[in-house]
Amino acid sequence: MLNDTIVALSTPRGKGGVAMLRVSGADAVRICETVFEPCQGKKLSDFSARYAIYGRIYAMDPDGTRVEIDDGVATVFRAPASFTGEDTVEICCHGGILLTETILSAILAAGARAAEAGEFTRRAFLNGKMGLSSAEALGNLLEAGSREQILLAHSGMRGKTERRSNEIYARLRHILASVYVCIDYPDEDLAELSREEILEGLVSCEKEIRALAETYRTGHAVAEGIQTVICGRPNVGKSSLYNQLVGREAAIVTEIEGTTRDVLTESTHLGRVTLRLSDTAGLHETSDRVEQIGIDRAQSALEDAELVLAVFDASVPPTSEDVSLCERLKDMSCAKIAILNKSDLSDGGDASFYTAHFTHTVSISAKEGQGMDALEALVERLFIDGSLDIRSDAVLTNARQHAAALKALRLLEAATASLSEGFPVDVCCSDAEGAMEALAELDGRAVSEDLVSEIFSHFCVGK
Ligand code: GDP
């Protein structure tokens, strides 16, 4: 499958000034020569790589006649100096829907196969052009919806995470080499590192992996988003807050209780943090069956939350429903912020009641849009590590990378613990080797075929 030549439209399907078709594989140039003729009378293969070649584009009529249908620009890339690492031709034509489909069909008829989702990037990975975390970062770059997500994805694509894990991997390999010398020649003084230095080296690798694993808190908040639930009794301003956060009138706001019956969810950005935001039905006693279903859904959304925005009407004293929400949230370990809403109305509430129940409180007026800056600053403080520069530091951005880093960390902790307890150096070998394997999983050198397929299937066709 790796040997055949694939083709896809790499620009979105639709009418536009220009569209780009990408052909990659050993036969890319030969196949493209059947649809593209350079104007200077030469063939594509006569040109040097990476030149923009102007020419005519041909397709076949149903009766088999070759017909000129467009003109455009082709660029040839020669293996391994291409995105995929294979011979690649990129043909830019005019961006008509039927036109690009016709050219695509002509390339397929000439012997290429339609690329699967993510197949170009998958080939780049399999041909060693990029590591798995760089490929994942590229996927994130295509999906990026905030400036912060762009910066993070771009830096990941440059291979920051792989370089970091490779550095730690190389140090572990160096340490293990000394361990094996100690084991093989116990009576001779051949090892480059002493027992103390081996322990020191492992402890410092452990520290670095821990620091790398901790970057996921920020990477998760920016790249994946924090599961955030807005809750509170009816009419406190949950939907108004939801609308403020998503920047449009997405949820219905009325003074009628029970307006929000289902859980509304969408992704939005608050400063540098991405929120996977859910507005929920007001929590209270009701005899309305439909509303009760909404309340049950609100309860289960709360169970999965990483951040709860508990909304209260701060212009009136807390009601029994407010009190029971505070009680309910008390035992939840996720981040919780009490939103003291309706700050534009006269202050008839009891702010001290909320400060007694919550570590974090923010006063806002969801109606007037006041106080949102303070909420943004607080959420950033809770989820973004201010000492991290996402443009230059290695940052883990998904659960797969985090799990691999944690696995490496646990194994190294075990290795250093046994050495510190005075066990002979060979005791740490299998744990240290396991940690190296986990690091290799992080950048994709040691992952299963299934996992690779799963990761690339989330890409679009043509990437
Ligand atoms: P929900 O039931 O908790 O979702 O509350 P809504 O967002 O639907 O708001 C209920 C009522 O409170 C509506 O009439 C809103 O206009 C009003 N409201 C919401 N936030 C504020 C606020 O900050 N100040 C004032 N004065 N009214 C608000």
Q: By C-alpha distance, which of 447, 410, 448 is closest to 432?
A: 410
Ligand 1 centroid – CA 244 distance (Å):
12
Nearest residue (by CA) to ligand 1, atom 25, is 342
Ligand 1 centroid – CA 234 distance (Å):
9
Residue with tokens 């590591």: 131
406-445 in b/e form (b: 16+ CB < 10 A) is bbbbbbbbbbbebbeeeeebebbeebbbbbbbbbbbbbbb
Ligand 1 centroid – CA 376 distance (Å):
20
The low-confidence residues of the chain, meaning pLDDT below 70, are: 1-2, 185-192, 250-263, 282-287, 290-291, 295
Ligand 1 centroid – CA 374 distance (Å):
19
Q: By C-alpha distance, which of 16, 10, 14, 54 is closest to 36?
A: 54
Interatomic CA distance for residues 51 and 310, integer angstroms: 59
Q: Say if ligand 1 is within 6 A of residue 342 CB.
A: yes
Strands (DSSP E) found in 323-417: 335-341, 360-363
Containing 25, the helix (H) or strand (E) segment is none
Contact between 451 and 136 (Cβ < 8 Å):
no
Mapping DSSP to helix (H, G, I), strand (E, B) and coil, where does residue 6 land? strand
CA end-to-end distance (rounded Å), the chain: 17
> So what's the pLDDT on residue 95?
95
- Label the pairing between strands 226-231 and 307-313: parallel
Count of CB atoms within 10 A of residue 79's CB?
Answer: 16
Q: Say if ligand 1 is within 6 A of residue 239 CB.
A: yes
Give, for ligand 1, the residue of 253, 254, 256, 286 to mutate: max count of ligand atoms closer than 8 Å to Cβ: 253
Cα-to-chain-centroid distance, residue 29: 34
Contact between 158 and 176 (Cβ < 8 Å):
no
Mapping DSSP to helix (H, G, I), strand (E, B) and coil, where does residue 412 land? helix
- Label the pairing between strands 36-38 and 113-114: unpaired
Single-letter amino acid code for the residue at 224? E
> So what's the pLDDT on residue 286?
67
Contact between 71 and 54 (Cβ < 8 Å):
yes
Mapping DSSP to helix (H, G, I), strand (E, B) and coil, where does residue 302 land? helix
Q: What Å distances lie between residue 28 and 5, 121, 166, CA to CA?
A: 6, 16, 34
Strands (DSSP E) found in 163-246: 226-231
Mapping DSSP to helix (H, G, I), strand (E, B) and coil, where does residue 386 land? coil
Q: What are residue 224's phi and psi, to 5 degrees?
A: -95, -40
- Please confirm whether the linkage preceding 62 is cis (ω < 30° from 0): no
Contact between 69 and 93 (Cβ < 8 Å):
no
> So what's the pLDDT on residue 64?
80
> So what's the pLDDT on residue 401?
95
